[in-house]
Structure 1
C-alpha cells in the first residue's frame, strides 16, 4: 500500500472519529436558531436613539453589544449596558458548537428576538397604550412561516432572552388604565416557551433569571487569569462597601439604614480593617458605564452590600463577585431565588451573607456588627468560593480563545440550564424529546 493511501486512510479515520465525537458531544444538545425577520431583531438597533426618556443607547451597540472599550488599550473592559444582553447572547449563540440547520433534529429552538428593545416603543414610545400587542408580531410569524416548527411541541422547546426584569413584561392584558410594562409574558400564546430574563418572578415556571452583564469580557485565558490573580492578591482594608444610590428619603428603608450606619461607623483600635464602611455614590446612574468608579473600591472590601432597589436584583451583585467581594443580601429574591444555574442555591451560605432587611430597618440590627462577628477563617473560605464563581457570572468576549472556552461562563450555563428545563418540561408532559 502506498504512502498516499495510508495517509488517506488516516485522514478518513480522523474525520470519522471527529464526526462521531461531535455527535456524542452534542447528543440531546442540538439547537436550531430560528431565522426571524430583521424587523424583530437587527432593525430594532436602528432605533437606539429614538426614546427621549432614555440615554442614547447607540454607543452600547459597539462590539456586538459589549459597548465601547473603557479606554483605547483595554482588551477586556467595556462600557456594557445590561439592555444589550439580547444582542450579546445572539452573537454568542452563533458560536454554539451544537447548532443544527434542521429544526426537527433540534432539542431546542432559539428565537433571536430582541424583546426588550422591541418593548421600548411600548414603554417609552408612542405605542404606550398598546402594550398588550408586544410580541404578537413574533407569534404571527411563527404561525405563518413553517408553523410545524412551533406546533411540534406547541412552543415548549422554544426559548428567548429578554434583557429586562420579567416584571416589565407582566402587565395584565386588560388593565385600564394601563400600568408600567408590556403584556408579553401574559399572552397565552407564549405560556409554553422559556424566557431568560435579568430577573424572574417567583411563580411562573417559564421564566429563569440569568446574570446581568458586567463590564468584564476577557477574550482569552491569560487575561482572565491575570484578573483572577489581581482579585486574589487585593488587600481587603475595608470591611464593607455599598455602591449605589438612594437612602436619602425620610421613609424607613434598607438603603437609608445602610447609609446611616455607614456614615456613622467608627473603626476601633483592635479592628483588623482600616475602614469599616464606605459608600460609593452611584446616584443618577453615574457608575453605570464607568466600572472604575466601583470596581477599585470593591477590590479593597471584604463585603459588598446588595440592598434591593426598584426590584430585588442588582447588577452590582455580579460586579461584586467579579471583584472577589462577598455579597451581603437582604432579600432572598435578590439572588438566592433567582440565579440557580449560576449561583447554586444549596451553596449560598458558602459565598454570601444574608441579613433580613426587616431586622435592620425595624429592629435595630447593625449590619457591621454582624459582619465583624464572622471569623476571619470563614471570610477567607467565602472569598475563595466567590473566586470559584467568577467564570460562571461573566460573559466572555465572543470569538474568545479555545483555552477560555474550557471554563463555562454565563451563556454556557444558561444554555445548559435551558436544555435541562425544556427536557424536563417535555418529559413531564409525556412528550418525546427529540433525540
Structure 2
C-alpha cells in the first residue's frame, strides 16, 4: 500500500512537471510567433496587393481624413455616396494643395454678455444718437437705397462706431474658419469692446464698473486651452472706438475710459482699433467703416469708374466743427482760411442740430465735387471723414502724420505723397501758410496721378456686405486678417527662437519701427516729441 502511494505521488509530480514544461514551451512559441508576425502584419503594406482593399482599409482612410479635417468630414462634404474612397482622394489633394493652409482662424464662442447681448442694450451705446437704428443689417445700418450721387445698391447709413458687429459678421463668413484650434494660424475673440465701454463713459459710473467687462473677458480667456498655446499672442480682437477709450492710466472714478489695453493679457494680444496709439505695440489701426458696403466686385469697379469721371469744381472742402475747448486745435484757423477762400473752398460746419455731417448723401455730394478734402485732427488724431473722402475720390490733406501715415499701415501706401498732401499743423497754427496757395500750386498732372491712387485705394478701405462674398477683390477685412496672420506667424517664430523684436525699441519709437522698420532719426520726430495725452472722441 505504501509503495502504491509513493508511486502515485511520483506519477503526479512527473505529470505536473511535464505540464509545466509544456506551458513554458507554449509561451516561448507564442512569443516567437508574435515577434515574427507583428512586423510582418503591421510593417508590410498589404494594401499594395490588388484586391486586398477591404472595409478596414476604407475605415482607415476615413479615420485619417477625419483627423486631418474633422469639420469637413462632419459636414459630409468629404464622404460621398456612402463610401470612404473619395475621402482618401480628398485627403491626398488636400495635402498637396490646401487653399486654407496657414490661413485657418479659430473663433472663440464667447458668452453673449461679451457681444450680442450688448447690442440688445443699443439705447445705451450713444448718449446723443439712438444706435438701435444703426445696428440693423448686421451693423451696416439702414439701406440708403437709390439716391443721386450714390449707386443704386451697396450704400448704408453706417455709424462710425459699428465696426465690431460688422467685423464679427464678416468673420462668421470667413472661408477658412476651423473648429480645431490646433490648426489655427490665429484666434479671433469676438468681444464688442467699444459697445461695452461706451455704456459707462458718460454718467455716474466708477472705474470698477467700467473695467468689469474687460476683466471678465480676460478671466474667461485664461481658462481656455487655446490661451496656453502662445499665452494669447496668437489672439486678436476688434475694438471699434479709438484706443484712448481703453487706456485709463489710473483707477480714479473721474478718469476717462477703462484699462482694457493696459491689462497684461491684452498686451499680448493684437488689438485692432479705428485709431491706434503711435507709442504702443499691441494695437493697430484699421479703417473706420464708411457708407459703402459692396456685395459684388462689379459694384466696386463701377463706383471707381464713376469717381474717375466725376467733375470737381471746388479746389478744397472741409466738413467739421470747431474745437474751441482744445488749445492745440487748428480747426479754427482752417475754418477761417476756408471762409476767406470762398471761391475755392466749400465749408460745412457740423452742428448737432443740423446733422448734415451724418447724412451720407450730403457728405458724399460735397466730397465728390472737391479736388482736395481737409482732414485736421478733431478730438483725436483720426477721422471717419478721411475714408469718406477717399471713397469719393477726393485727395485727403493731413496736418499730422498721426492722422493716417502711422495709423493704417496695412491699408495705406507707405509713400504718402502718392495719394495725399501733408501740411504741418504748426505752420497753420502759426499762420505761416496759405492752404489755398499750397493746393493751387500742385500741377494738374500730379493732381490726376494722386486722384488715381486715391481711387485705387477704395477697395482696400471698404468692408463688404457680410451677407455676401467678393470673388476677386480684397477688402479692408481681407487685408486685416492677412496682416494679423503674418504678425502672429512672426511672433510664433520669435517664440521658437527665444527672441522678442519689441525689445529692440521702446514705446517712444514704436511708431517708427512699425512704419519704417527702423528707429533711426526721422523727419517726423517733432510731431511725436511730446507725450501724447489721452484724448476722447464723442
Fold in common (TM above 0.5): yes
Q: Which residue of 2 is the match for residue 158 of structure 1?
A: 235
SS in 1 for 2:430: helix
C-alpha distance in structure 2 between counterparts of 1:187 and 1:98, whole Å: 30
Q: Which one of the candidate residues 320, 337, 360 is aligned to 2:428?
A: 360
Are residue 382 (structure 1) and residue 439 (structure 2) matched? Answer: no
Q: Which has the bigger relative contact order, CA under 8 A and spacing at least 6?
A: 1
Q: Which one of the candidate residues 137, 142, 157 is aligned to 2:216?
A: 137
Q: Which residue of 1 is the match for residue 274 of structure 2?
A: 198
Structure 1 residue 51: deviation in Å?
A: 5.5
Unaligned runs of 5+ in 1: 1-6, 267-274
Structure 1 residue 72: deviation in Å?
A: 7.0
C-alpha distance in structure 1 between counterparts of 2:331 and 2:181, whole Å: 49
Contact 2:158 2:291 in 1 (8 A): yes
Contact 1:60 1:81 in 2 (8 A): yes
C-alpha distance in structure 1 between counterparts of 2:126 and 2:86, whole Å: 60
Are residue 149 (structure 1) and residue 217 (structure 2) matched? Answer: no
Structure 1 residue 176: deviation in Å?
A: 2.7
Q: Which one of the candidate residues 211, 223, 247 is aligned to 1:170?
A: 247
SS in 1 for 2:134: helix
Q: Which residue of 1 is the match for residue 484 of structure 2?
A: 418
CA RMSD of aligned residues (A): 2.6
Structure 1 residue 190: deviation in Å?
A: 1.8
C-alpha distance in structure 2 between counterparts of 1:396 and 1:104, whole Å: 29
Structure 1 residue 251: deviation in Å?
A: 6.0
C-alpha distance in structure 1 between counterparts of 2:389 and 2:467, whole Å: 26
Structure 1 residue 29: deviation in Å?
A: 1.1
- The 1:19–1:291 alpha-carbon spacing in structure 2 relative to 1, beyond 3 Å, is farther
C-alpha distance in structure 2 between counterparts of 1:111 and 1:125, whole Å: 28
SS in 2 for 1:241: strand
SS in 2 for 1:156: coil
Unaligned runs of 5+ in 2: 1-80, 499-538
Q: Which residue of 2 is the match for residue 50 of structure 1?
A: 124
Map 1:66-215 → 2, pairs under 5 A: 66-71=140-145, 74-124=152-202, 127-130=205-208, 131-144=210-223, 147-172=224-249, 174-215=250-291
Bigger Cα displacement from structure 2, 227-236 vs 283-292: 283-292
Bigger Cα displacement from structure 2, 327-336 vs 415-424: 415-424
Bigger Cα displacement from structure 2, 222-231 vs 106-115: 222-231
Q: Tell me how many residue pairs correspond in the alignment.
A: 411
SS in 1 for 2:161: helix
C-alpha distance in structure 1 between counterparts of 2:476 and 2:290, whole Å: 11
Q: Which residue of 1 is the match for residue 399 of structure 2?
A: 330
SS in 2 for 1:231: helix
Contact 2:320 2:357 in 1 (8 A): no
Contact 2:323 2:378 in 1 (8 A): no
- The 1:413–1:287 alpha-carbon spacing in structure 2 relative to 1, beyond 3 Å, is farther
Indicate the structure (1 or 2) with the bigger Cα radius of gyration.
Answer: 2
SS in 1 for 2:230: coil
Q: Which residue of 2 is the match for residue 276 of structure 1?
A: 344
Bigger Cα displacement from structure 2, 214-223 vs 102-111: 214-223
**Which whole-Å deviations, capped at 9, do the CAs of 1:319-340 have from their partners, x for residues lacking one?**
0110000000001100001001
Are residue 409 (structure 1) and residue 475 (structure 2) matched? Answer: yes
Structure 1 residue 290: deviation in Å?
A: 1.4
Q: Which residue of 1 is the match for residue 90 of structure 2?
A: 16
Map 1:230-379 → 2, pairs under 5 A: 230-246=306-322, 253-265=329-341, 275-284=343-352, 286-345=355-414, 347-379=415-447
Contact 1:51 1:124 in 2 (8 A): no
SS in 2 for 1:82: coil
Structure 1 residue 121: deviation in Å?
A: 3.0
Contact 2:396 2:421 in 1 (8 A): yes
Give TM-score scaled by structure 2 length: 0.72
Q: Which residue of 2 is the match for residue 29 of structure 1?
A: 103
**Which whole-Å deviations, capped at 9, do the CAs of 1:296-341 have from their partners, x for residues lacking one?**
1111111000000000100000001100000000011000010010
Contact 1:247 1:258 in 2 (8 A): no
